[in-house]
Chains A and B, each alone.
Chain A
């Protein structure tokens, strides 16, 4: 079994544990699983509709940036050792936007998916990066703001460093699994 197939199998097992295990647990605890599922799933459309303006804003801006030739120029500025590892200008843009805004970084991943294809290395790497980092600056602002803390000490530094580790780990893991 190749490493790619192994990753796929483990991913599928984890997914099944969630998708089957949770309803089984719910049923054992006397939850009406079908009605509860439907009730929760109703929000799905709302979320998808809410994300439209963000995706339009990002895809149009980045799409224009790509079509104008500016993306190529910026890509030329990215050191070649980074590009050899799969860290292209789009992946850098994704990693830099991530701490600021979840919707904008999802938009950049959307642009990568629509321009390189959903099965491309960049799309997979971008997805793993999105899954292993957070909207650090946003979370810090909301949480510290709620208790009027202005001296944040090392919270932001630690959070951003952890995001950096997440990005590096994503690159290493993706190179290893998806080549």
Chain B
């Protein structure tokens, strides 16, 4: 998919430039864009390092684990099909906390563990359960509280207040997560998903 889009951008740009006579600006844009990409990437380092350092403290101190235990009771309400002592409760909670903190490297293995735990409750192999769909809907709605990748990019681009987006992003991500929950809950009641 990305292969096609990327190739399409290059080819369409070249053809458009030839047709509109923008060949010179097109060619000038190439080295300039490549340089900008490099500068922006390197500019990410400071804030990335800062955030990853703080998050390492959150992991080592047991804070993420503690939060997982705290949200476990909530999991029972979100996933009524999962028994409360089932290992899936703990692995899903740990995955969600890791996602909230933007710990992508930690979140993926925890998420796969959660899926394997949910699979033990699956009566029909190869077909998703309601709990799996809810878990994925919440996961893909973005749980991350502080979008430090975007903040780092704004800072690298010379923003006067890169962290201003934290509050609007938390509001927007709350909307998307709550709607993911509502949509998945509604769709789980649909007739064609009952088997």
- A residues lining the B interface (CB < 8 Å): 4, 7-8, 10-12, 14-15, 18-19, 22-23, 25-26, 29, 31, 33, 36-45, 47-49, 51-52, 55-70, 73, 97, 99-101, 104, 106-107, 109-111, 113-114, 117-119, 123-124, 126-136, 139-140, 142-144, 146-155, 157-163, 165-166, 169-170, 173-174, 177-178
User: Would you give the shortest CB distance from B39 to chain A, in whole angstroms?
Assistant: 8
Let me know if A169 and B176 touch, CB within 8 A.
yes
Q: Taking A26-B61, A48-B42, A162-B179 as contacts, is the C-beta distance between A143 and B54 under 8 angstroms?
A: no
* A residues near B14, Cβ cutoff 8 Å: 64, 68
Is B128 part of the binding interface, using a Cβ–Cβ cutoff of 8 Å?
A: yes
Let me know if A153 and B133 touch, CB within 8 A.
yes
Please name the residue on chain B nearest to A60 by beta carbon.
B33
In the A-B complex, the 4 residue pairs with the smallest Cβ-Cβ separation, listed nearest first, are A40-B56, A44-B49, A131-B147, A63-B33
Q: List 20 A-B contacts (CB under 8 A).
A: A8-B164, A11-B166, A45-B48, A63-B30, A64-B14, A68-B26, A99-B140, A113-B40, A119-B160, A123-B154, A124-B165, A128-B147, A143-B112, A147-B119, A149-B119, A154-B187, A155-B140, A165-B176, A166-B141, A169-B175
* B residues near A140, Cβ cutoff 8 Å: 136, 140
* B residues near A65, Cβ cutoff 8 Å: 9, 12-13
A25-B57, A149-B119, A158-B133 are known contacts; what are 13 more A-B pairs with Cβ within 8 Å? Answer: A25-B58, A25-B63, A47-B48, A49-B41, A55-B41, A59-B37, A134-B141, A142-B108, A147-B118, A152-B133, A159-B140, A166-B141, A170-B172
Interface membership of chain B positions 94-138, coded 1 if the CB is closer than 8 angstroms to chain A and 0 otherwise: 000000000000001001100110110010011110001101110
Query: Complex: how many Å from CA A140 to CA B184?
Result: 14
Is B74 part of the binding interface, using a Cβ–Cβ cutoff of 8 Å?
A: no
- B residues lining the A interface (CB < 8 Å): 1-2, 5-6, 9-10, 12-14, 16-17, 20, 22, 25-26, 28-30, 32-34, 36-38, 40-63, 108, 111-112, 115-116, 118-119, 122, 125-128, 132-133, 135-137, 139-142, 144-147, 149-151, 153-173, 175-177, 179-180, 183-184, 187-188, 190, 193
* B residues near A130, Cβ cutoff 8 Å: 147, 149-150
Let me know if B149 and A37 touch, CB within 8 A.
no
* B residues near A110, Cβ cutoff 8 Å: 36-37, 40, 153, 157
Q: Taking A38-B53, A123-B159, A131-B142 as contacts, is the C-beta distance between A55 and B147 under 8 angstroms?
A: no
User: Would you give the shortest CB distance from B29 to chain A, in whole angstroms?
Assistant: 4
